[in-house]
Structure 1
Amino acid sequence: MKYVDEFRDPAAVRALISEIETALTAVDDAKKPLQIMEVCGGHTHAIFRFGLDKLLPQAIEFVHGPGCPVCVLPRGRIDEAITIANHSDTILCSYGDAVRVPGERGSLLDAKANGADVRIVYSPLDALKLAQAHPDKQVVFFAIGFETTAPATAITLLQARALKVANFSVICHHITIGPPLKAILDDPQVRLDGLIAPGHVSMVVGQQIYQFIVDDYDKPVVTAGFEPIDFLTALLGVIKQIASGQPSVENAYKRAVNDAGNSAAQEAMEQVFELADSQDWRGLGAIEHSGLQLNGAFRSFDAKLRFGLVSAQIEEPEGCACANVLRGLAKPGDCPLFGSQCTPQQPIGALMVSSEGACSAYYQYRQL
């Protein structure tokens, strides 16, 4: 396939829906509806944008996972970024979605409105260029995201060290995809029959990272791309595995993902990062060995150390159901704030802010 229209072809979609309906007949009725978690928020938006939930049988229920990096960003980390941004000699750089996520003291966008120098960048390399252009300022990059964005941060820090850019640092909140999935699968309140793995992360880490889901939890995992044909192909693979009783790790996104992942990206991360003992996740709490921190060779670029920040845990706003949505225990419409007090224009929870957030998808495509 060469063009995106081929991945949205209505005839091909109908054919896959028919195959899914046939595959479901081989699944024990006692298991239905099947609880399928799409880990990535990009998949959530694809489901609702293209109306896949309307086309599929009611024997399938989607559970929205924690694969949106902005959505799992703790409120305390937002407040840390605001504290740094409020320094008069500082330029705080961030990806676009993160500036609108509310902490206890508002958002980075609010800080910008109050005079802080907060800038949206498309890459940490943009922030490094700002540091070179403004040697009289401390330039701090708010480094968030799974293994998808961590290599870009690592490469930027390697370059900053090589160029001896002393006024550049990062707030490091890079996280890893495996531990939160384990935490969810260990939760006795969560019932999952299979998982659709995120394509973006898998391009970097490969397929082997999901093998524990098969070995330890006996659940099928299929990696998917983000177009309708991609997603439905992966869903069909999950259902066939459930029907056969033989779970495995399968790749339905072979044009972008291979078993081993991107070795150059992995090498860059290994040079710069090490696993943190524990990491806080919005809605999931502290999870062991789930975050990346700068290793000893790059500790001088750690903005938390440079600015003397102490991490604090901050509770979710009263009534906010983001935590349960992230854990697969609720849908956005179950939140009493959804669509009334919490909207994309005035978000209270992170899931309403992010372009990959489940609440954002429901609000945009399925207002309840």
Structure 2
Amino acid sequence: MKYLEEFQNPELARGLLEDIRATVTRPWAVMEVCGGQTHTIIRHGIDQLLPDGIELIHGPGCPVCVTPLEVIDKAMEIAGRPGVIFCSFGDMLRVPGTDRDLFRVRGEGGDVRVVYSPLDALRIARENPQREVVFFGIGFETTAPPNAMTVHQARKQGITNFSMLVSHVLVPPAIEAIMTSPDCRVQGFLAAGHVCSVMGTEEYPQLAERHRVPIVVTGFEPLDILEGIRRTVRQLERGEHTVENAYQRAVRPEGNPAARAMLADVFEVTDRAWRGIGVIPRSGWRLSERYREYDAEHRFDVTGITTRESGLCRSGEVLQGLIKPNQCEAFGTTCTPRNPLGATMVSSEGACAAYYLYRRLAAPSAPSALEVSSVG
């Protein structure tokens, strides 16, 4: 397969679905740990095409959504300071903090700028030596390498008015936290292919063995998702629990050695709070001691932050896979993309945003089925 359209071929999808139906003999619950995969699933109705009893649980796979509220509030406090240029990707500007968002900070006079690369923020720092420039560095292992490279370049070039507010999170510790939760219903995982393209797959076999769950590395197109589900269900039916790479066109077992070397140099592992979930041990990165001078939290010494989540929002339960977005009473009524109560309704990878965008406005009373030809 060379072209994107081939990964959305209805006839190939029908064959994969028939294979899944022929394999399944009992109910299974499978979690995808990637917001991009969630959007593919909902957009193409993949969850509605599967045999009855096969449930797809949406995991905490949206990096914007799991950025902790305290970090969001710290970002706004820094962004509102005189002399600061605060740079961020656009999807962070609407994420609600305790009582406002970065759009409001900009409306109140803060110099908040949307950039398309952390290197854009470094350029702004070079062009404005009299100002402090801060980049909001969030995301899973996928977005961490360019952020690490930018800090490395800032140090190499001697740019001292640049810093980064870091809130990177790691997937394997999140899987560990999910599997050790008393409310866990997950029996298999679709692992995010882009994360594994950076980090490889070496951390997953021990998780699969310890928790006796199959983990299948999966891509993002409809056929990728269906093939991942097919392999996961096949393992479940056989009582197996191994790691399979169904995304070999992008993922190697060792990942990207150059990117991993840069990450090891610039970052160090730390405990990290996940919004709606809580603190997960050793589940994030922060700047290492060697680069601590570029840590915005250290440079600006932001203290006295008091956070408060919306009492109506159940995005924490959505992120943990305990409920579907349309099972939240606020979904689509008091919580919409224009007036979001939680980050899952704002982000382009949020599960609530997917359900709203593709009109899954009401929780179904029973599983439904669409024609296979709707895939693609």
The TM-score normalised by the length of structure 1 is: 0.96
- For 1:140 and 1:265, the matched residues in 2 are separated by 23
Structure-to-structure mapping, 1:272-291, within 5 angstroms: 272-276=266-270, 278-291=271-284
Task: Look up the match of 2:209.
Answer: 215
Task: Look up the match of 2:368.
Answer: none
- For 1:305 and 1:74, the matched residues in 2 are separated by 17
Contact 2:73 2:305 survives alignment (8 Å): no
- For 1:314 and 1:334, the matched residues in 2 are separated by 25
Q: CA deviation at 1:8?
A: 0.5
Identity of aligned residues (%): 47
Q: Are 2:22 and 1:22 aligned?
A: yes
Residues 197-246 of structure 1, C-alpha deviation per residue, up to 9 Å, x if partnerless?
01111111111122222111000000111101111011100000001111
- For 2:304 and 2:344, the matched residues in 1 are separated by 22
Q: Are 2:140 and 1:146 aligned?
A: yes
Contact 1:325 1:331 survives alignment (8 Å): yes
Task: Look up the match of 1:359.
Answer: 352
Task: Look up the match of 1:37.
Answer: 31
- For 2:168 and 2:42, the matched residues in 1 are separated by 28
Q: Are 2:300 and 1:307 aligned?
A: yes
- For 2:31 and 2:70, the matched residues in 1 are separated by 27
- For 1:267 and 1:167, the matched residues in 2 are separated by 25
Structure-to-structure mapping, 1:56-135, within 5 angstroms: 56-135=50-129
Residues 141-200 of structure 1, C-alpha deviation per residue, up to 9 Å, x if partnerless?
000001111111110111100100010000011111111111111011111110100111
Task: Look up the match of 1:6.
Answer: 6
Task: Look up the match of 2:182.
Answer: 188
Gap runs ≥5 in structure 2:
363-376
- For 1:167 and 1:105, the matched residues in 2 are separated by 29
- SS of equivalent residue, structure 2 residue 64: coil
Task: Look up the match of 2:373.
Answer: none
Residues 229-285 of structure 1, C-alpha deviation per residue, up to 9 Å, x if partnerless?
111011100000001111100011111111111111100011101112x21110111
Q: CA deviation at 1:291?
A: 1.2
Task: Look up the match of 1:172.
Answer: 166
Contact 1:77 1:311 survives alignment (8 Å): no
Task: Look up the match of 2:290.
Answer: 297
Compared with structure 1, are the counterparts of its residues 82 and 12 closer, same or farther at alpha carbon in structure 2 (3 Å cutoff)? same
Task: Look up the match of 1:333.
Answer: 326
Q: CA deviation at 1:311?
A: 7.3
Contact 2:125 2:131 survives alignment (8 Å): yes
| RMSD of aligned Cα (Å) | 1.1
- SS of equivalent residue, structure 1 residue 22: helix
Q: Which amino acid aligns with 2:62?
A: C
The TM-score normalised by the length of structure 2 is: 0.94
Contact 1:92 1:140 survives alignment (8 Å): yes
- SS of equivalent residue, structure 2 residue 134: strand
Task: Look up the match of 2:367.
Answer: none
Contact 1:173 1:291 survives alignment (8 Å): yes
Contact 1:70 1:350 survives alignment (8 Å): yes
Q: Which amino acid aligns with 2:341?
A: I
Contact 1:304 1:310 survives alignment (8 Å): no
- For 1:47 and 1:316, the matched residues in 2 are separated by 29
Higher relative contact order (CA 8 A, sep 6+): 2
- For 1:35 and 1:310, the matched residues in 2 are separated by 42
